[in-house]
């Protein structure tokens, strides 16, 4: 297993991960749907804008999981937007690798990196019914808002 920082060369991987996140419970979206929707595509098209960062966990050439944070502005917010100083997290363990603790470990390392950078916190959006919520709660995220069928959660680092 190796872990390395994500770069702009990983945008295709982030696009794949975003599709997995949007389709976490059922197939609702295609790649074309994602690319056509700015509100979704902004999670990968501009990565990394200033301040954005992330990690990929791989086994050889195979990516097992990715976690990344993006800063999005108030006039182009993510689903889990809190404020412009708080980046939003996306986390995906690819099929075949779930339930082995990879997502938990990756999240923990990302939180450490965010802390080391002096960030005030990390936000995210989790849709009703997604068991990933437990993972986030255990990591210290708390519900701070509501957006459609999803809760906005915030991990405060200050
Ligand atoms: C959510 C996700 C990132 C978790 O990664 P993972 O590597 O499978 O998670 P882990 O094996 O590290 O499990 C961490 C904990 O979260 C729990 N968990 C994670 N996903 C869960 C789910 N869908 N249902 C129930 N529990 C879940 C695990 O039971 C585990 O709890 P434990 O510590 O008591 O064993 C991964 O399942 C995934 O990518 N799912 C599809 C996309 C998605 O939903 N992304 C998140 C959008 S908010």
- How far away, in angstroms, is 113 Cα from ligand 1 center? 21
d(CA 139, CA 37): 30
Q: What is the DSSP string of 46-100?
A: TPSPTT-EEEEEEETTEEEEEEEEE---TTS--TT---TTS-EEEEEE-TTSTTS
Does residue 29 line the site of ligand 1, with CB under 6 A? no
Question: What per-residue confidence (pLDDT) applies to 26?
Answer: 96
* pLDDT tens digits, 10-34: 999 999 999 999 999 999 999 999 9
- Check if the beta carbon of residue 18 is closer than 8 Å to that of residue 93: no
The residue-averaged pLDDT of 125-143 equals 98
Does residue 96 line the site of ligand 1, with CB under 6 A? no
The residue-averaged pLDDT of 115-122 equals 98
Among the listed residues 118, 33, 123, the one whose alpha carbon sits nearest the alpha carbon of residue 81: 123
Instruction: Report the top-level CATH class of 2-156.
Output: alpha beta
- How far away, in angstroms, is 75 Cα from ligand 1 center? 31
Q: What is the DSSP string of 98-129?
A: TTSSHHHHHHHHHHHHHHHTT-SEEEEEEETT
- Check if the beta carbon of residue 93 is closer than 8 Å to that of residue 135: no
- How far away, in angstroms, is 118 Cα from ligand 1 center? 27
* pLDDT tens digits, 72-95: 999 999 999 999 999 999 999 999
- Check if the beta carbon of residue 151 is closer than 8 Å to that of residue 133: yes
Does residue 152 line the site of ligand 1, with CB under 6 A? no
Instruction: State pTM to two decimals.
Output: 0.96
- How far away, in angstroms, is 132 Cα from ligand 1 center? 5
Does residue 135 line the site of ligand 1, with CB under 6 A? yes
Q: Which atom of ligand 1 is nearest to the CA of 102?
A: 7
Does residue 93 line the site of ligand 1, with CB under 6 A? yes
* pLDDT tens digits, 99-118: 999 999 999 999 999 999 99
Cα 55 to chain centroid, rounded: 10
pLDDT at residue 1 is higher than 90 = no
Q: What is the DSSP string of 138-156?
A: HTT-EEEEEETTEEEEEEE
Does residue 103 line the site of ligand 1, with CB under 6 A? yes
d(CA 126, CA 35): 21
- Check if the beta carbon of residue 126 is closer than 8 Å to that of residue 151: yes
């Amino acid at each position: 297993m190796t872990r390395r920082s994500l770069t702009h060369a990983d945008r295709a991987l982030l696009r794949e991960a975003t599709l997995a996140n949007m389709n976490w419970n059922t197939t609702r979206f295609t790649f074309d749907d994602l690319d056509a929707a700015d509100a979704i595509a902004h999670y990968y098209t501009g990565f990394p804008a200033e301040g954005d960062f992330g990690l990929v966990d791989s086994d050889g050439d195979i990516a097992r999981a990715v976690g990344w944070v993006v800063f999005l502005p108030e006039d182009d917010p993510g689903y889990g937007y809190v404020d412009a100083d708080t980046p939003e997290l996306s986390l995906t363990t690819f099929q075949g690798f779930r339930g082995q603790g990879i997502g938990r470990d990756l999240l923990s390392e990302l939180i450490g990196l965010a802390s080391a950078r002096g960030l005030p916190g990390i936000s995210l959006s989790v849709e009703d019914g997604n068991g990933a919520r437990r993972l986030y709660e255990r990591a210290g995220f708390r519900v701070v808002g509501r957006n459609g069928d999803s809760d906005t959660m915030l991990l405060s680092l200050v």
